Structure 1
Amino acid sequence: MNEDKIKGQWKQLTGSLKAKWGKLTDDDVKVAEGNSEYLAGKLQERYGIAREEAEKQIKEFERSL
């Protein structure tokens, strides 16, 4: 699923995002609004993982949709 499609379905995906990454706050998810760069930064911050790992997890999440 491409980023434009994710942005279009963002409200529907917020539940799935929070289920996968429970440490993300409602504000994190709201501000991200489909921006994978911002989301990767928040995953780094909340989970203490490398940027590459955060981006990998986001891509895996996108493929699972």
Structure 2
Amino acid sequence: MDWNRVEGNWKQLKGKVKEQWGKLTEDDLDQIAGRRDQLEGKIQERYGLEKDRVREAVDDWYGRQGW
């Protein structure tokens, strides 16, 4: 998995991330800046999910992006 694509296209992908995880704020998305560890941490914080479950959800979301 090449997460560099997400980091490089973060401005364009913020909307898709917001669609998937609507509890994330614009400030959250700006702070995340495409970094996977930051994204996973914010999802855990906002949704109260386990780390492994969040990792699977992010993997699933990434896989659906049709790179």
TM range (shorter): over 0.9
| Amino acid in the other structure paired with 2:64 | S
Q: State how many pairs are aligned.
A: 65
Matches within 5 A, 1:8-47: 8-47=8-47
Q: Which runs of 5+ in 1 are unaligned?
A: none
Extract structure 1 runs of 4+ deviating beyond 4 A. Answer: none
**CA distance in 2: counterparts of 1:26 and 1:41, whole angstroms:** 15
Letter in 1 for 2:62: E
TM-score, normalising length: structure 2: 0.90
Q: Which amino acid letter does the alignment assign opposite residue 8 of structure 2?
A: G
| SS of equivalent residue, structure 1 residue 24 | coil
Identity value in percent: 37
Match of 1:55 in 2: 55
Per the normalisation by structure 1, the TM-score is 0.93
Q: C-alpha separation between the residues in 2 aligned to 1:63 and 1:33?
A: 19
**Which runs of no fewer than 5 residues in structure 2 stay unpaired?**
none
RMSD over aligned Cα atoms:
1.0
Q: Which has the higher contact order (CA 8 A, sep 6+)?
A: 1
